[in-house]
Amino acid sequence: MSFWDQMRLVLKSRKFWALVLALIASWSAFACGEVSVWQALQATIAALAVYSTGVAIEDAGVKRGSR
């Protein structure tokens, strides 16, 4: 699979767009003064961790199904 095919799959992923919205929400809250920079950083790390875990679970399911 080429790089561009992989990018198309990522851009179609609901998990990816949920990550983007979570990042926008956390940093918008920081920009509006609702949260501190530390809280925004924690929210960013949590969103990235949830995204990577979701992708890992999905990949594990794909590998099990191909056996």
Q: For the chain, what percentages of helix, strand and coil (3-state, to nearest 5) are there?
A: 85, 0, 15
Residue 23 confidence (pLDDT): 97
Strands (E), 1-67: none
pLDDT, tens digit, 9 for 90 and up, residues 2-48: 999 999 999 999 999 999 999 999 999 999 999 999 999 999 999 99
Which residues are CB-neighbours of 44 under 8 A, at least 6 positions away?
23, 26, 27
Residue 18 confidence (pLDDT): 96
pLDDT tier at 55, thresholds 50, 70, 90: very high
Residue 23 near residue 47 (C-beta atoms within 8 A): yes
Residue 48 confidence (pLDDT): 97
Residue 66 confidence (pLDDT): 59
